Amino acid sequence: MGKQPVIHVAGDRPDLEAAVREAGGRTGPLDEADGLVWLDGDPSKLPELPPSVRWVQLPSAGVEQWLRAGVVGDRPVFTSAVGAFGLPVAEHALALLLAAAKAIPRFARASSWEPDGRHRVRALEGATVAIVGAGGIGRALISLLAPFGAEVIAVTRRGRPVPGAARTLPADRTAEAWPAAHYVVVAAPATDGTRHIVGAHELAAMRADAWLVNVARGSLVDTDALVEALRSGSIAGAALDVTDPEPLPDGHPLWELALVTPHVATPPEAEARHFARRVRENVRRLAAGDELEGVVDPEGGY
């Protein structure tokens, strides 16, 4: 254990101050701080950092705006909340998968009894679920899917085996997942390389009875191509917690064509709890001189 780190929490968050103390640090003013826990998503509001600051904890998993602003460099080390909210987001993804499997969007909009409605419903048991971006969210979703008996294809950047997945594909073999899956869950980070990772070509490669579920960022899906695929019936449906544009404008075709939730996968109380856990762990690591969790990679874009 090194010296007790001084952490400045930039906001009225007693829970984060407690997390700092529990991890062996102490809170203090910015001009004395070794680390900064920043709670605003606007990079332009980040103050000039004193030389003593070695670490900045950002509040969200997505860091696109921070990279565009050119704020992140070699020093101090910036960490995001990537992976910290994996379980609640995975829980929401599971809810969307079940809604798709059980035809909830169709039945919720119905105004008369459908005698053969049970033929619209299917089980997750025996279905194939492709998870594109099997990081914190994807791995949590694999665990939640285990009791249902679904087969999982995990897609990761390098294709290293993911526990619980029947097989893992590297990113350059993602094309193999589209025709194989009954459900495709998008859970990858938003980078220049993942923009429109699901476009017209990918949608055309999917099964006619497949559903697309997006709990990552709206920019990963080509909205115009998705609208066309849903209108033409080339895929069975889409369930989206994120959209492009976002917020989704009133009257947009996706309101009628897809199941849309308004970017609510992480409930506020769960977000606060999991973020405090990330702060606690990173303060502990900072004090011990260990590698921090969620280090932002400017070259990788996340």
Q: Check if 167 is active-site.
A: no
**What phi and psi, each to the nearest 5 degrees, are found at residue 210?**
-85, 150
Side-chain-side CA neighbours of residue 209 (13 Å): 11
Catalytic residue among 246, 252, 277, 285: 246
Of the residues 8, 92, 182, 217, only one is catalytic, namely 217
d(CA 205, CA 223): 16
Residues with Cβ within 8 Å of 283's Cβ and at least 6 positions away in sequence, in order, are 5, 7, 19, 20, 23, 24, 25, 35
| Catalytic entry in 13, 263, 273, 277 | 263
Q: What is the dihedral of CA 104, 265, 157, 77, to 10 degrees?
A: 180
CA torsion angle for 124, 130, 136, 140 (degrees, to 10)? Answer: 10
217 catalytically annotated: yes
Q: Is 26 a residue of the active site?
A: no
Give the catalytic positions in this structure.
217, 246, 263
